[in-house]
Amino acid sequence: MLETENFAQNVRDAGQAISSAERAIARTDAEEKMMVAQMKVKAEMQGQKTNAAQERSADESPDVVQARLDRGVAKGQLAAAKAELMACEMEFKIWQSQMATQRFEKNRIYNTD
């Protein structure tokens, strides 16, 4: 029973990591959008009237680049958390298979006619 509780705790921990990574992605997405909007306003104040010019100006900003990198890091954390969850599930399935094999062997040994 202790093993099953350990598996359950590992899944809960992985779920928390996924939740945290999802929040980080949402936060970094919002920060990136805010940063792009601010850079577009600055570009407009500098006389760049078209959306393309404002976008280009925002793309060249180091703050926007950093915001996009932060979003990439958050997505990487989500991928790592999902991989951890998959590893927990595989570990449980291996244990489950081993238990089934043991039961089969036990039945075969004790139920010989």
Whether 2 shows a pLDDT value over 80: the answer reads no
pLDDT at 1: 61
Supply the mean pLDDT for the chain: 89
Which domains occur in the chain, in start order? 2-110 (1.10.287)
Structure tokens, 80: 């790592």
3-state secondary structure 59-80: HCCHHHHHHHHHHHHHHHHHHH
> Could you read off the pLDDT of 35-67 as tens digits, one per residue?
999 999 999 999 999 999 999 999 999 999 999
Residue whose structure tokens are 């238990």: 99
111 or 18, which is more confident?
18
Closest CA to 88 of 99, 96, 98: 96
For residue 67, the model assigns a pLDDT of 94
For residue 50, give the DSSP letter.
Answer: S
Give yes or no for residue 70 having a pLDDT over 90: yes
Buried b (16+ CB within 10 A) or exposed e, 58-85: beebeebeebbebbeebeebbeebeebb
Pairwise pLDDT comparison (108 vs 65), residue with the higher score: 65
Alpha helices in the chain (DSSP H): 2-45, 51-59, 62-110
